[in-house]
Structure 1
Amino acid sequence: MWYVIQVFGGKEQTTLDLLKRFVDEGVLQEAFVPRREVMRRNDGVTTRVIEVLFPGYLFVVTETPRELCAQLKGVPAFTRMLGGSDKRFIPLNQSEIDCLEEFCGVNRVVEMSRGVIEGDKVRVSEGPLKGHEGIIKKIDRHKQCAYVDMEFMGRTKSIKLGLEIVRKNS
């Protein structure tokens, strides 16, 4: 099952490294920080950068959430498993897992998508948003990104993903 651990924002990678050092491999099957590829402009130069998709959160795969929670107390950083109370932990539901796996792939990075605007519709020609044009809520052509609504821990969250618009047809 997949669970979410809250950490300090900006400290996701550092906490992930500590988690891998202080938690037994038998308890922690996988731990990762989902990321996205976006374009950033700095001093007039546009470059591709990789940034955290969900700031302040790590994702873990474990079959023993109680044991993981107990071992998190030994990690020298703020970590808190999200979910219920009274030592019950709520895993991500299967649709959330499927969505993350589809967009992030095995490298856990949502890559840039490319597309065109035809009239008032977007047609994505390559990338993870291809075939998912219906979930795009807003496009920012200047920042080369699209905003999509994604289910996360039972709530709808607006997520920014990289989308390069190569041309606009009227």
Structure 2
Amino acid sequence: MWYVIQTQTGDEEKLVKLIEKMIPKEQYEECFCMNRECVRKTEKGYEIFLRPLFPAYIFVVTDDPGRLFFELKRIPRLTKLLGDTKDTFFSVSREEEIFLKNVQNKDHVVKRSLVEVDTEGTIIKADGAVGVYLRHVIRQRLRKRYVCVEKEFLGEKRRIYLGIKLKEDGEAK
């Protein structure tokens, strides 16, 4: 099952590396931070960079969260396996896991979705994550190249920002 570990915003990748270094691989199947592609406009076009999809959260796949909890205590950074009591930990629900698997690639990156807009600027067609969750889009910023999707995640409605690209975008690497 997928479980969520909370850390300080900005330390997601560092914590993943620490867990991989300090906790035996037998304790978990996979540990990762989900990132999303973002862009900024430069003189050369659009520069692509990564940002955490869920700041301050990393994911770990394990069959024994209790044992992992004790292993996490060895890590010198502040971490918290999310749970409601001392011995019960929150796993990502089946629906949430499907959502996460639908939006990311094998490297745990949410790629930007190619979108097609009409003359009024409304998205009429999209591929990738935006295409799958187009009916959940609550805000779009075409000029900034992102949309905001509202989904239930970890027990509350969250705004999840997904990158987009328009057909006419020329892109720099």
Give the TM-score taking structure 2 as reference length: 0.89
Structure 1 unmatched ranges of 5 or more: none
Deviation at 1:45, TM superposition (A): 5.2
Distance 2:117 2:132 in 1: 14
Is the alpha carbon distance of 1:7 and 1:43 closer, same or farther for their aligned partners in structure 2, counting shifts above 3 Å? farther
Q: Secondary structure at the match of 1:148?
A: strand
Query: Which residue of the partner structure matches residue 32 of structure 2?
Result: 32
Distance 2:54 2:139 in 1: 19
Is the Cα contact below 8 Å between 1:6 and 1:57 reproduced in 2? yes
Q: Show CA shifts across 1:10-37 (max 9, x none).
A: 1111111001111111111100000101
Query: Which residue of the partner structure matches residue 138 of structure 2?
Result: 137
User: How big is the alpha-carbon RMSD for the aligned residues of Structure 1 and Structure 2?
Assistant: 1.8
Identity over the aligned pairs, expressed in percent?
27
Counterpart code for 1:144: R
Is the Cα contact below 8 Å between 1:123 and 1:133 reproduced in 2? no
Is the Cα contact below 8 Å between 2:30 and 2:61 reproduced in 1? yes
Is the Cα contact below 8 Å between 1:149 and 1:156 reproduced in 2? yes
Q: Show CA shifts across 1:92-114 (max 9, x none).
A: 10000000001013221110111
Is the Cα contact below 8 Å between 1:124 and 1:131 reproduced in 2? no
Query: Which residue of the partner structure matches residue 20 of structure 1?
Result: 20
Q: Secondary structure at the match of 1:63?
A: coil
Give the TM-score taking structure 1 as reference length: 0.90
Which has the larger share of strand? 1
Alignment of 1:18-167 (within 5 A): 18-41=18-41, 46-118=46-118, 119=120, 121-166=122-167
Is the alpha carbon distance of 1:138 and 1:75 closer, same or farther for their aligned partners in structure 2, counting shifts above 3 Å? same
Q: Show CA shifts across 1:117-166 (max 9, x none).
A: 22574123433222432111111012100000122211110011101234
Structure 2 unmatched ranges of 5 or more: 169-173
Residues paired across the two proteins, number: 167
Q: Secondary structure at the match of 2:131?
A: coil
Q: Show CA shifts across 1:3-61 (max 9, x none).
A: 00001111111111001111111111100000101112357853111111111111000
Counterpart code for 1:132: Y
Q: Show CA shifts across 1:54-105 (max 9, x none).
A: 1111100000000000000001211101121122112110000000001013
Counterpart code for 1:150: K
Distance 2:12 2:86 in 1: 26
Distance 2:64 2:76 in 1: 21
Distance 2:45 2:117 in 1: 24
